[in-house]
Amino acid sequence: MRYFIKFSYNGYYFKGWQKQKNNKFTIEEEIENKISIILNKNINIIGASRTDSGVHAKLMFAHFDYNYAINKKYFLYKINLLISSYININDLFKVNTNVHARFSAIYRIYKYIIGKKKNPFYKNLYWYWKYKNKLNIKLMNKAINIIINRNNFILFSTTNKKLNNYNCNIYYAYWKKKKNYIYFIIKSNRFLRKMVRFIISICIEIGLNKITIYDLKNKIKNKKIFFNINIPPYGLYLNYIKYNKNIYK
């Protein structure tokens, strides 16, 4: 039988989602260990996405296979007692055996938060903008419209030899300002490694007038990878993942 878990986490204290050989504290390993203890069997989970070190998730899914029925109420109670306080497992449910947490997802939405007002109670949950320079949101939206007007995003991600292609279908992406916060929201069928943070970093450079829209167009035309990630990861959230309703068993 295949089970889905629905959960959320504060990623600041983890070295990203994916397990690592050097035994660093990762979300995937923490969840696997606790499920394995509860079910008394070595369990491998497959996540819907692979967030980087420091990145949060308001809504995340993963699947695992287990041959027996699981008492949902007991499972949720027990795992949330055992697991790190920075992770909460919100739900457990059975799905069809051909459903895959990563490949069956229709789309994902990421959000990035910049705060112009310091709040010690939300430290490491948004990027506190302590600088005097103001961001030009109008220019940043102009930049994002140029960036997403394509299918191939190899210029906006780290290279990966395992990938067959760098194509993504971005449905929308935009910047908006609300009171003391600036939000970036992007929706796509898939995201490449570090892609969202690359895109945000470019927009920040343009919003600060460090580079121009002309520079951006010229670099894209010449197919040059030309930016480093210069934003903190803890402002970024995996905000939503969509599946078809027929995944449930």
Query: Any idea which residues carry the catalytic annotation?
Result: 52
CB 193 within 8 A of CB 12: no
CB 144 within 8 A of CB 198: no
CA 44 centroid distance within chain? 20
Give the separation between CA 84 and CA 91, rounded to whole angstroms.
16
Residue 18 per-residue DSSP state: S
Residue 129: strand, helix, or coil:
coil
Q: How many helices (H) and strands (E) does the chain have?
A: 5, 9
CB 187 within 8 A of CB 172: yes
Question: Could you tell me the two tokens for 81?
Answer: 């007692």
Please report, for residues 169, 200, 236, 238, the alpha-carbon distance to residue 107 in angstroms, rounded to integers and kept in the order given. Answer: 9, 19, 17, 11
Give the separation between CA 99 and CA 112, rounded to whole angstroms.
29
